Structure formats: C-alpha cells, structure tokens
Amino acid sequence: MCGRYAATKNPAKLIEEFDAVDATEGQAPGPNHNVAPTKPVMTVVQRHPRDDDGEPDPEQTVRSLRVMRWGLVPFWAKDPSSGSRMINVRAESAASKPAFRAALAKRRCLIPADGWYEWRRDPEGKQPFFMTGSDGAIVAFAGLWETWRDKNAEEDAPPLVTCSVITTDAVGQLTEIHNRMPLLMPQDAWASWLDPDSSDVGHLLAPPPLELVDRLELRPVSSAVNNVRNNGPELLERVTPSVDLAATEQDTPTLFDAGADPAKR
C-alpha cells in the first residue's frame, strides 16, 4: 500500500492549491483515474533556486509543481529497473534504508491525489475501495524523490527523476480496509515537510491525526480498477459491496502492498 491512486486535477488547480509555480515543462500527465507504478505523476517540491552557474540561492526557496516517475530509483543504482519495486517506503524504516535515507533528509515531496485504492479481502474475494476526501478536497501523500543519471548517457542527457509514497499504519476507519495507508500530510504541515533546509522531520512521520482520516469517504468501487488498462471516471463510482464493511475481518497485503520494504540493501 499504496499501489494505485487517482489524480485528475490539472496543473492550474494544483498550482493554486499548493501555492506553487509550474515547473512541469509541458510534461504534465493528463487526468488519470488509475495511476499505476512507473507512470509519470505530479509532485510538489520546494528548493533553493539556482543561478546561471548552478549555484543555489540560500536566501530563497521556490515551491514548484514537477513531473516524476512513480518508483524511486536510488542515485547509486546501476540501472533504473529497481524503481518498480520501490513505489512505497515504510515511515518506520525510511531513515535507515540506504535507498531512502538521503532522500528523507534532503529530498521530500508531496504527491497530490484525488484519493487512493485499497482492496479488502471478503469471503467472495477482494473488494476494491476508493479512499477520498468526502468534500472532494485534494489529499497529499508524503513522498521522497531522487535523481538518477545514466553513466553511459550523453553528458547533457536529462536525469531520471523518481518518487516513492511513504506509508504508515492505518488508523481509524481505514483499519477496516487494510493495515497500511499512505502517510497523508495535513496542510498545516506542508511547509515543514517540504522545507529543504530541515532534515529533522521524524515528528512528521507519525500516522495522520484521526480527524483527517475521519473526513475521508471509504467508497466501494467496481473491480474494473483491478486492471490497469481501465482508466475512466466510472472507476470512481460507488457500487454496492458484496459484504457489509463492519462484518469482515481486516485484510493483510494487497497486490501492490509494500509492507515488506523492497529496499533491503
């Protein structure tokens, strides 16, 4: 968890919501109702602007909207294939994992979403749910990002910029669906999380407050979302679940669950 989500807001809306500038360079992906690993995704970062010589200005920071590929590739990786296994990182172990600890200290981001999908195991099979703001508000996943360069590429070749979603223990009503959830970052913590000059963010890695989770709608949706080729607004429509939510036991890992950290190096 998290292995699929929906992101349909256009850059203009995200720029307004996050008080950011557009740095997508015309590469912003269109609305996606079934975002899958290795796809391009929108992220929000805050960095010191650089002058023509590439030197950062320590007196200023700029918050920007950028496109990254979902699935973090460590800067030291030999090739980018590991990214498909690093779509998530546990909040509890990010600081100790070689693939993520430098990013946690220096390269944190927010990943905007309409909501995310999770699968609950019922006697009849797995029932997908869409977790979303009941008022339609954007949710922001805490994320980490990295830059990877191909040593065999031309010197001026653009780097590969990738990201990973941080996950944590589920809280409140979400425990009825799954034992893990994306680390949702409340708006009043965005500035602290994105601050490029702060590496002390341990207090922000705790599960989100219950009042934030209580505002979410847990919406049963069609099993059509199981197939990554399906992508349309109908995936977000409510369906009648086969089993009552309160009558089932909590499930454990789903297809894309990263409960066991993929980065064991």
258 within a domain of the structure (yes/no): no
pLDDT of residue 172: 96
Token pair belonging to 62: 């700029």
255 in a structural domain: no
Would you state the pLDDT for residue 260? 40
CATH number at residue 57: 3.90.1680.10
The answer to whether 219 and 6 are in contact (CB under 8 A) is no
Confirm whether 184 is domain-assigned: yes
Q: 106-146, pLDDT tens digit by residue?
A: 999 999 999 999 999 888 789 999 999 988 889 999 999 99
Q: Would you say residue 257 lies in a domain?
A: no
Give the strand pairing for 62-70 and 32-35.
unpaired
Active-site pick, 16, 55, 92, 118: 118
pLDDT attached to residue 1: 57
Catalytic residue, chosen from 2, 109, 146, 163, is 2
Q: Name the percent of the chain lying above pLDDT 90.
A: 75
For residue 261, the SS3 value is: coil
> Which two tokens mark 181?
């959830």
Residue 2 is among the residues annotated as catalytic for this protein? yes
Number of domains the chain contains: 1
Residue 16 lies in a domain: yes
Looking at the domain assignment, is residue 253 inside a domain? no
109 counts as catalytic:
no
Per-residue pLDDT tens for 176-190? 999 999 999 999 999
144 backbone dihedrals φ, ψ, rounded to 5°: -125, 150
DSSP 93-149: TGGG-TTTHHHHHH-EEEEEESEEEEEEEETTEEEEEEEEETT---EEEEEEEEEE-
Mean pLDDT for the stretch of residues 89-95: 97
Instruction: Identify the residue with better confidence: 245 or 47.
Output: 47
CA distance 113 to 43: 10
Evaluate whether residue 259 is within a structural domain: no
In a domain, 238, yes or no: yes
Question: Domain range for residue 88?
Answer: 5-247
Mean pLDDT within 69-82: 93
Secondary structure class of 161 (helix, strand, coil): strand
**Residue 47 pLDDT > 50, yes or no?**
yes
